[in-house]
Amino acid sequence: MSDTVSNPPKNDNSQPLDPAPIANPRLWPLIAIALLQLAVLTIPGRIAPSTMFHFMSMMWGAIAGLALTSLWLVAFCRLPWRERLAAIALTVALALCAIFFSDASLNAMVLGVVITPWTIVACGAVALVSIPLGWSVQRAALVSVMVLATIFVLSVKMDGVRGTITAEFSPRWTPTNEQQLLAELKDKHVEHAAPDSASLAAQTSVWPGFRGPQRDGVLRGVSFATDWDLQPPKELWRHKLGPGWSSFCVIGQQIVTQEQRGDEEMVTCYDANSGEPVWEYGIETRFEESLAGPGPRATPTFHAGKVYAGGGSGFVSCINAADGTEVWKRDLTKDLKAKTPEWGFAASPLVAGNAVIVFAGDQNDTGKAVVAYDAETGDVKWTSGRGKHSYSSPHLTNLAGVDQVIMISDWGVQGLAVESGEVLWENEWNIEPGNRVVQPQIVADSVYVGTGLGMGTRKLDIAHDAEKWSATEEWTSRDLKPYFNDFVQYDGHFYGFDDRIFTCVDAATGDRVWKGGRYGHGQTLLVEDAGVLIVVGEDGEMALVKATPEGHEEITKFRVFEGKTWNHPVIADGKLFLRNGEEMVCYELRDWQETK
C-alpha cells in the first residue's frame, strides 16, 4: 500500500482542486502486534513448563499488547487527530460498557487477560485481510470488531476456567446447573431416605475423608475386575448436585459431601445405594470466584459419629452424623482474623486425637497459620505454624517415631506436634507466587513436597536425635510438577501429573521414568492390590491405567461427565463414587473382593 494518495489536479492558478493530500493509515504495526499477541496466547500453552508460566505469559502479554496497541494508535497510526480521538473515545466507551454492564463473572482480570488480547488479534486479522479494500472499509471493519467484541462480552457469562487457564463461556441468559437444581428442589418435595443410624454413628470408616484413611489416595486390601472392556463398571445411579470441588467421605451405606446451593453452603448426606438424600446441613454463606466457580473446596471428615466440615468462607462445623444436626461451629475469619483466600478456604479438617486441625492462614506473621479445635466442644486448643496461603490440608503421619501433622504453605513445610502444635522441624521453600495445593507423600521418614504451582517436587529426609530435629533436602526435581493434582506412591515410584501430562517418577531419585497420557488437570486414585490407577481427567473422562514403571499403559477409558472435573474419586464397598461441580455418579465394580 502506498504511503500517500496521488497528487490532485490543479487549476490554472496552480491551486489544488481537492483538499491537501493526507497520509494513509499505517496498519502494519497493528498487524504485527496482533501476530505477537496470538503467539503469546497459543504457544506457551503448548510448550510452557508449567500452567503458572502460561498464565503469567498471558497476563504480561495482555498488558504488553494493550500498551503497544495504545502507543500505535496515539503515535504511529498516522491518522488525522480527529480520527485518533474518535477511536480513543469509542474504545473507552465500549470498555466502560463492558465493565459496568457485563455479567458479574466477567471481572476486570477476565476482561483484561482474556477478552482484550483476542480483540487485538481480531483487529489485526481484519486489518490484514481488508488491505485491498481501502481505509474506509478497514475502518468500518475495525469498528465492527470492537462493537462485536463488546456485544459478546455483554451476552455471555463465564463458567470458570480449565487448569490451563482457558476460559469457558455460555450464554448469559441460560440458567446454571445450580439454578436448575434449585428450581427442581423448589418445585418438588424431596423425600429423605431413612438414615442408617448404626453405620452413621460407627467409630470407623473405610474412607473417612479426603483421599482416604491416610490421605494418600490409596485403596488397600481389595481388588476387582480390571478388564473393563469385558467387565465394565455398572452405573447404579446419577444425580445433580450443587457446585463445589469436594470429594466424599463414606460412612457405612451413606456418603457425605459439600456443595453450594444459592446462599447456603451445604454438607449433604446421600444413600450410597440410591443417591437419594438422607440429611442436609446448611450455613447461610456463599463463596464464589469467577475462575474456579462457586462452592466449597474441602472434603468432610468422619470421626466417632461426627462429621467435620470446612467451608469456602471459613466456617468449620461439627455435625452429628446420624441426623445432620449441628454440634458446634467456628469461623476462621473471627477466631484467627484470617483473610478469605482468593480461591477460598480449602483445608479438609484433620482429626488427630481429640483435635480438629485446619489451615487458616497467618497474614500478620504471628505464628497462627494452623488452628486445632477441641473435637467435642470446638474450643481452640492451640495455634501454630507459618504461612499466609495454602490450599493443602493438614496431614497426619509418624516420622522418627513421633506422631505429627505435616502442613504445607506458601512459606514451605513444617512438622507440628499433634498435642501442642509445637514446630518440630521446618523447611523453607517459598516460591512466588507461593500458594501450595497438593498433599505431601510420606515414605518411611521422608516427606515429598510438591509446590502445587507446577514448579517441582522436593524430598526431605526427617531425623530426630536427643537434641533436635532436622529436615535435610535430598533432592528437588522438576520431573514431577504437580499443580493442584495429587500424586500417589506405589512400589518405589510416584504416579501423578507433571502439569497436564501423566507421569511416573522414581521416588528414590526424582528422575522421570515415563511420561504419557494427556488427561488435563485431573486426579488419581491407586488401587494397591490390583496395581491399577483410576485417573479422572479434567474433561470428565475416566481411565484405568496400570501402575507400572514399564510405561504408560492405559487399559481403557470412557466418559463419565461432560463438565469440568477436578474432584477426587472414591472407592468403597465395591462402589466407585465420582462427582464434579454439577453431578455425581455411582458405579458398581465387578468381582469385588477383600484381599486382606
- 107-125 pLDDT, tens digit each: 887 888 888 999 999 999 9
430-462, pLDDT tens digit by residue?
866 556 889 999 999 999 998 866 678 999 999
Q: What is the mean pLDDT of residues 510-534?
A: 94
CB 84 within 8 A of CB 23: no
pLDDT for 5 equals 43
Question: Phi/psi at 206 (nearest 5 deg)?
Answer: -70, -25
pLDDT for 123 equals 94
**Cell reading at 126:** 481484519
Percent above pLDDT 70 for the chain: 93
Give the integer Cα–Cα distance in Å for 133 and 130: 5
In three-state secondary structure terms, 147 is helix
Percent above pLDDT 90 for the chain: 69
91: left (phi over 0), alpha (psi -120 to 50) or beta: alpha
CB 588 within 8 A of CB 581: no
Using alpha carbons only, give the angle 415, 421, 422 rounded to the nearest 5 degrees: 70
Instruction: Kindly list the distances between the CA atom of residue 374 and the CA atoms of 329, 350, 414, 550, in Å, as whole numbers in the listed order.
Output: 11, 12, 21, 47
pLDDT for 12 equals 52
CB 449 within 8 A of CB 457: yes
Q: Which amino acid is at 113?
A: V
Residues 6+ apart with CB under 8 A from 92: none
pLDDT for 526 equals 97
Name residue, grid cell 437444581: 181
Give the integer Cα–Cα distance in Å for 550 and 261: 46
**Is pLDDT of 558 > 60?**
yes
What one-character-per-residue DSSP string does 75-119 give?
A: IIS---HHHHHHHHHHHHHHHHHHHHHS-TTS-HHHIIIIIHHHH
Asked whether the CA dihedral 231, 236, 242, 248 is positive or negative, the reply is negative
**HSE (side-chain half, CA atoms, 13 Å) at 504:** 19
Q: What is the largest CA-CA distance in the chain?
A: 110
217: nearest Cα among 509, 554, 482, 549: 482
Residues 6+ apart with CB under 8 A from 14: none
**Is pLDDT of 237 > 90?**
yes
Which of 228-232, 466-470, 579-583: highest mean pLDDT?
579-583
306-347, pLDDT tens digit by residue?
999 999 999 999 999 999 999 999 999 999 999 998 889 999
498: nearest Cα among 473, 517, 471: 517
**b/e for 504-526, b at 16 or more Cβ within 10 A?**
bbbbeebeebbeebebbbbbbbb
Instruction: Kindly list the distances between the CA atom of residue 35 and the CA atoms of 119, 121, 569, in Å, as whole numbers in the listed order.
Output: 12, 7, 42
Per-residue 3-state assignment (H helix, E strand, C coil) for 168-232 = EEEECCCCCHHHHHHHHHHHCCCCCCCCCHHHHCCCCCCECCCCCCCCCCEECCEECCCCCCCCC
